[in-house]
Structure 1
Amino acid sequence: MQISVKVALLSGQQVVMNAAPEISIDDLRNSAEEELGQTLSHLVAPSGKVLSRASTVEEAGLQDGETLTAVICGDRIVSSCRSRAFALIRSDGSLVTWGHPSFGGDSSTVSLSDVRDIQASHGAFAALLSDGSVETWGHAFFGGSTARVQAQLLNVVKIEACFCAFAAILANGSVVTWGYPEVGGDSSAVQDELKDVCEITASNGAFAALLANGSVVTWGNENLGGDSTAAKSQLQNIREIRASGGAFAAITTEGSVVTWGSPNHGGAGGASAVQELTTVQSIQATNDAFAAILADGTVVTWGDQAHGGDSSAVQRELRDVQQIEATGGAFAAILADGSVVTWGDADAGADSSAVQASLRGVRHVRASRYAFAAIRSDGSVVTWGNPEHGGDSSKVQDQLKDVLQIEASQRAFAALLGDGSVISWGNPAFGGGGIPVDEFGEAPHGLRDTWQLPLS
């Protein structure tokens, strides 16, 4: 029989978690991390006792209705599967960055302190400071300059990023955008509708804002989900929105799903498999497909079959699914027993056969563009997928111990260890150990910029 416990931060933010007696404290902590959006080092019982990660809820003696205190990990790594660099937010609010210097890896041009949060586009970072102001750095094309809107960036509470643009939610519920106009950097066409905004989600080139009344406002490239006109009447009572590279999927309060955007990315016309669903709990997306976890722990997928939209080959294994992570073309599902099931494009991480025996006791998975990294309950790490995207961690494997957090850029991973140190691996041009540059700040031949604006 499940019990209900509250997991609370010292700030007062809290979530209610339902927990079965047999799940581990580490699984509970992992779920709380997802809900709170924070990296948690441990959970503390009302008695003040630090709960052992290996203990089950029953062994820990947790009671229905209890409140557990969540302790945030002092340092936190930030990047995204679109980014070419990493940022480490220290517990004192200071910042360390690395990766491609022209695309966010060099933050020496800005004075940063009291950093609360950071978001990353493909080539820039935006830092939210404790006073509600915003500092940006990196390539201006990707949102590295806020010159046009700097005076409006006051009392900011949250930032979201797409490939080339950023959107900031202000304390009054309005929105300020900047970056490449055609992919979300210009929200003037819907500015009057952007009121009481609670959350913003981004595809590669469009934004979707969830309003307090459960409705949705979209803008950006029409081919990438910026036009939701066809689904407008259905976009009511929405509680959560997820995005693929060019489409969106919204979960209603009843657990049904509404999609829009490019059919090639799992959007309108590509989601017949989910029209009758009423028990969707959460959704994850590759670049071209979606996967939904249902209330019974099973999974429904749709979108491009080669990139995760077809899960029929592993459907029988997809039971008691707790969490799903996605690369650009593959999914990885963590089951209740800590094992992992993968499907999609073999070259994008769907083939985990070489490490399947090691995928036990997995508590968290992160994904770069075409590779996965899993943290196990003992703090070790298992990687698989494209080696050029961080799928091969053999050179640093003996250092990957007591890992608290893993974050991914587009082609590299970085792990935060219990002692506060950071280990990175993967493509050097994307933060996998740093990028060599000459006296002019240019990368050597072979590591030059190869990005391409994804407009279709």
Structure 2
Amino acid sequence: MGISVDVRLISGRRAIVELEADASVETLRQRAQSALAVGRGRLLNSAGDVLNGTTTLTQAGLQSGDALLLHISQVQVMAAKLQCDIVTGSAFAAILGDGRLVTWGEPDYGGDSSAIQDRLQDVHHVQASTYAFAAILSDGSVVTWGDTDFGGDSSAVQEQLKHVQQIQSSDGAFAAILRDGSVVTWGDADYGGDSSAVQHRLKNVKLVQSAANAFAAILADGSVVTWGETGLGGDSSLVQDRLKDVRQIQACFYAFAAILGDGSVVTWGFDACGGDSSSVQEQLKHVRHIQSTDEAFAAILADGSVVTWGDSETGGDSSYVQDQLKNVRMIQSSSHAFAAIRADGSVVTWGCDDSGGDSSAVQHQLKKIQQIQASTDAFAAILDDGSVVAWGASENGGDCSPVQDRLRNVSQIQSSGFAFAAILDDGSAVTWGSDDLNDTTASSVHEQLKDVQQIQTSSTHAFAVILGNGSVFTWGFGTEEHDQIVVPDQLTPLSA
């Protein structure tokens, strides 16, 4: 007996699909996608429940005339994190339009999820550490994979991982905030994977921030709870009495900086890397934003001036440009340098010269800057006319001269650890930077880089591009040995 089902999109477009009653929901989904000429999606009934693709139409309770919604989510791509000054492998995870998640890249860093692939359905969000991934499903449960020592194995706390709202990661551990405001942690204890010492205090948690080896949680009452490596931000006992009415927390690799409600700042962690702000404490008033390099902080005050502290060689000393740091509206950072955009669109840089701290060679071009993006050791700025200026280490993208004539009408720039990729207004993309990932290398795929919607990068030499049709295209290298990344079939194309 045949069944006729009305499948609709959020836009209102619809298609009538006729199938036998014993056909699967998966077959119905594929037929509907084909009829509507769209990518992967999930079928929802009138109650908003997602239909299981393995069941038959009869088992799903469908009858002729029933209406279903084909919900298509935007493809989301997440890459493994960059560990402090260490070149790691490349791994990606993508949430497809139908809620399934696929992975690719270096297996040791989470690029292989085959062992738990059947559980990666109806994924809501994915988070990455350096060596592992954690996915939140729509029911609030969590699935993890990757290096078992650094967060890839959550079996010890699996029963607690229910009603998860968000997940934060350090370099080697994860912290999940549950619906009731409690926190569950797992991974390497030296990276904050063990919160047992402060578990009784982790209640009514609103936000968790992470450094490389520690976590800091802001509670509903504005107080802060920390855990992880003691000397690297995991112990805030020396400043605990000052951590009240905390509004936001910024982290570098080994320290934290908290902005209080009155605009003052409290810091803790490794002293030499920004954990000690005593030398500038009197200046830290009316702070509205803090940015960090690997080992230093820069605070923008309400009057547009800037205060810096931490390791002097990585941006903690701005004394030689202090008179220029006025009317600053935004600060961007590479690993060891800062770049500040002033209200008139000019740029001031400081920190390690080789990381972009010296912009003298291009200073005359740095006018009417709209935004700045940073790689590990270079910067790239978009001007108001859509052109691009780059500086810093050439091997990290600091020299865009080989593709300068193509960098016109640029709408956004994304960076990997060692290269940049620009999306132009016409949807095409241009890349430059690492010798292993330059535009010559990408020329073989250049013709496919059209209708680019979003670019995600790994910490090293790889890019993942989401195209307008929902497909994902990647190129680059997966490990230090430069093994070519293998892209899963599910990504090319996504309309199957």
Q: Same fold (TM over 0.5)?
A: yes
Q: Using the TM superposition, give the Cα deviation of residue 240 of structure 1 relative to its aligned residue in structure 2, in angstroms.
A: 0.7
Instruction: Please state how far the C-alpha of 1:95 moved relative to its aligned partner.
Output: 5.8
Query: Which residue pairs with 1:60 in the alignment?
Result: none
2:348 equivalent among 337, 341, 350: 341
Match of 1:23 in 2: none
Residues 1:169 and 2:177 are matched in the alignment: yes
Which digits, 9 at most, give the CA deviation of each residue in 1:165-220, with x for residues without a partner? 12111111111112211110111111111111111111111111111100000000
Relative distance call for 1:316 and 1:223 in structure 2 (3 A) is same
Q: 2:289 aligns with which of 263, 282, 289?
A: 282
Q: What is the identity, as a one-letter code, of the residue corresponding to 1:103?
A: Y
User: Does structure 1 conserve the Cα–Cα contact (< 8 Å) formed by 2:477 and 2:483?
Assistant: no
Deviations 1:145-180 (A, max 9, x none): 323333322222222111111211111111111221
Bigger Cα displacement from structure 2, 100-109 vs 216-225: 100-109
Does the CA contact (< 8 Å) of 1:274 and 1:300 recur in 2?
no
**Which residue of 2 is the match for residue 432 of structure 1?**
462
Number of residue pairs the alignment of both structures matches = 370
User: In structure 2, do the counterparts of structure 1 residues 387 and 276 end up closer, same or farther at CA, with 3 Å as the change threshold?
Assistant: closer
Q: Aligned residue for 1:314?
A: 321
Q: Is the 8 A contact 2:303 2:327 kept in 1?
A: yes
**1:384 equivalent in structure 2:** 391
Alignment match of 2:481 (pick from 421, 436, 444): 444
Within 5 Å, which residues of 2 pair with 1:386-425?
A: 386-393=393-400, 405-415=412-422
Aligned pairs for 1:44-443 within 5 A: 78-79=78-79, 80-82=81-83, 84-85=89-90, 100-105=106-111, 110=117, 112=120, 115-268=123-276, 270-393=277-400, 405-415=412-422, 426=434, 430-432=460-462, 434=475
- TM-score using structure 2 length: 0.66
Change (3 A) 1:88 1:337: farther
* 8 A contact 2:233–2:269 mirrored in 1: yes
- The 1-side partners of 2:333 and 2:274 are apart by 14
Amino acid at match of 2:260: T
On the 8 A contact 1:84/1:104 being kept in 2, the answer is no
**In structure 2, the residue corresponding to 1:149 is in which secondary structure?**
helix
**Any idea what the Cα deviations from partners look like across 1:49-95, whole Å, max 9, x if unmatched?**
xxxxxxxxxxxxxxxxxxxxxxxx95665445547545566666566
Q: What is the Cα deviation at residue 319 of structure 1?
A: 1.7
Q: CA distance change for structure 1 residues 197 and 390 in 2, over 3 Å: closer, same or farther? A: farther
TM, length-normalised to structure 1? 0.71
Which letter maps to 1:257?
V
Identity of aligned residues (%): 53
Is the 1:321–1:335 contact (alpha carbons within 8 Å) kept by the matching residues of 2?
yes
Q: Which has the larger displacement, 223-232 or 166-175?
A: 166-175
Cα deviation per residue 1:268-312 (whole Å; 9 max; x = unaligned)?
Answer: 3x4320245320001111122110000011101111111111111
- What is aligned with 1:8? none
Cα 1:116–1:424, aligned 2, differ >3 Å: closer, same or farther?
farther
8 A contact 1:244–1:289 mirrored in 2: yes
Residue segments in structure 1 that go unaligned for 5+ positions in a row: 1-72, 448-456
DSSP-derived class of the 2:323 partner: helix
* Structure 1 range deviating more: 385-394 or 335-344: 385-394
Alpha carbons of structure 1 residues 167 and 106: separation in structure 2 relative to 1, 3 Å = same
Asked if the contact 1:100/1:430 (under 8 Å) is kept, the reply is no
- Looking at CA atoms only, which structure, 1 or 2, has the larger radius of gyration? 2
Q: Deviations for 1:363-404, whole angstroms, at most 9, x for unmatched residues?
A: 333333322233444555443322343434556666656655
